[in-house]
Amino acid sequence: MKMGLFLLLAVFVGSTACSKSGGAKSSVPLPAAKISDVSQPRQRTAFAMRFYVDLSAASAQTVTVNYSTGAGTAKTPADFTAVSGTLTFQAGQTELYIDVPVKGDSLRKDDQQFYVQLTDPVNCTLGNAKATGTLGNTDGTYLPADGTGYSTPLSYPGYNLVWHDEFDGNALNTQDWNYEQGGNGWGNHELENYTNRLQNVFVSAGNLIIEARKESYDGNDYTSGRLTTYGKQQFTYGRVDIRAKLPVSKGMWPALWMLGSNISSVPWPGCGETDIMELIGTNPKQVVGSMHWKQQDGSTGTYNNAYSLPSQDFSQEFHVFSVIWKKDSLQFLVDDHAYVNGSVSNVSSGTYPFNNPFFFIFNVAVGGDWPGPPDVTTVFPQRMFVDYVRVFQ
């Protein structure tokens, strides 16, 4: 009996070891299901954002997982349509997707997020079970502005309206305007790269909008826009009205100005510079109007003055920045209040250049010698809205 029991145990132990080495069934780990984030620019018309759900390995059996959407800064039904359901992976399948309907919208605003959550796995586990859908709104081409503020008429006694841009279309009129581009500091150690992208210059809801952004672009940390009418629109004398709303944060330097059209043959400052409006962000209630020219010794001559609002600042309403330009004189105005009266008598050294044709420049600089750089209080994007520019003669 003892010998028989010993032989029986020996056979049992020996067959177990054999079965192990011979590849008996071992437990196979369940695959993990994961869902990936999606970021997509918002479109004008309705579209679908597609979220891919992947298994870490193929399964020999059917795998299911439930899903449902959840609101974040993007809401339903205003931004997207809530969906829910079950994904079924057939044996061998490793990827399926969920389409979430998104409402079309071209409004330029902050990006928005919503979520897709996986739950209730069958024959799988959950890896990354929650995905974020990001609606990219920051490049939208529609941006209305509160139009309150000062306005000026379309006619004046004794003047004819000889050129104007009301910015009522959907795009910049390149028959009149040029994009200046680059990030070389522009002679003032500015920090931006001027581009011709819709991200920085666009026309919407009756306004030209120049937008400065904090972003890495072609070696610069900021982008913005700079437009000129050089070679397309130039004027000598008349009244100029420009209605605009300005960015006023630290480091911002919006300007509406003119240069002599002979700049290619008579370099600055000999060609002359007329600054209809400049604002330095640290002085949000104040603008400066200036005349610049080349003095006899080669230095830059300046005659200017500042205008300050009694309340609010220049970002809160539209204001009209004007120059009344006659032979041998320039008068600068804000909302029809004259604050600079310059003339040939102020150019005591050098040649008076302001009886020649000039062209327009509109730009928003970031940083530079005068305003200094932005700081932690500067929230981007920063925008200048221009409602119209009108020239009367």
Mapped to the 3 state alphabet, what secondary structure does 300-369 carry?
EEEEEEEEECCCCCCCCCEEEEEEEEECCEEEEEECCEEEEEEEHHHCCCCCCCCCCCEEEEEEEEEECC
Residue 30 burial (CB count, 10 A): 17
In angstroms, rounded to a whole number, what is the distance separating the alpha carbons of residues 256 and 382? 16
In angstroms, rounded to a whole number, what is the distance separating the alpha carbons of residues 14 and 8? 10
SS3 for 62? coil
**Catalytically annotated residue among 190, 192, 211, 278:** 278
**Catalytically annotated residue among 190, 192, 211, 273:** 273
The candidate with the shortest Cα–Cα distance to 228, out of 364, 361, 118, is 361
Whether the CB-CB separation of 58 and 152 falls below 8 Å is answered with no
Active site residue 317: no
DSSP state letters, 226-263:
EEE-TTT--BSSEEEEEEEE---STTEEEEEEEEETTT
The candidate with the shortest Cα–Cα distance to 259, out of 287, 292, 225, 214, is 292
The β-bridge relationship of strands 300-308 and 319-326 is unpaired
Active site residue 190: no
**Catalytic residue ranges:** 273, 278
